Amino acid sequence: MKGYPYWKVGLGFILCPGIAGVIATLVGTYYQIIDPKISWLGVLGFFSGSLPVIVFFTIVINIPPAFIISMVLLFFRPFRSLMSLLFISIFGGFLAFFWGQYISPANDGLGYWEAISENWLTTPFASAFVLGAISSLVMAFWVLPKRSEVSDRKQ
- Tens of pLDDT, residue by residue over 100-111, are 777 766 665 555
Report the pLDDT value the prediction gives residue 1, as an integer from 0 to 100: 45
How many angstroms separate the first and last alpha carbons of the chain?
11
Report the pLDDT value the prediction gives residue 105, as an integer from 0 to 100: 62
- SS3 state of residue 3: coil
Indicate the range of 24-38, 99-113, 135-149 predicted with least confidence: 99-113
Q: How many domains does the chain have?
A: 1
**Could you tell me the residue range of the domain that residue 80 belongs to?**
6-148
Considering the chain, what percentage of its residues have pLDDT values greater than 90? Answer: 49
pLDDT at 80 > cutoff 80: yes
114 inside domain = yes
142 inside domain = yes
- SS3 state of residue 152: coil
Report the pLDDT value the prediction gives residue 104, as an integer from 0 to 100: 66
103 inside domain = yes
Report the pLDDT value the prediction gives residue 123, as an integer from 0 to 100: 61
> Where do runs of H (alpha helix) occur along 62-109?
63-76, 82-98
pLDDT at 121 > cutoff 60: no
Model confidence band, residue 62 (pLDDT cutoffs 50, 70, 90): confident
**Cα dist from 102 to 4, 12, 95, 108, whole Å:** 34, 25, 11, 11
41 inside domain = yes
Rounded (5°) CA angle 53-58-60: 95
- Quick one: average pLDDT of 113-140? 73
1 inside domain = no
CA 79 – CA 145 distance, rounded (Å) = 5
pLDDT at 115 > cutoff 60: no
154 inside domain = no
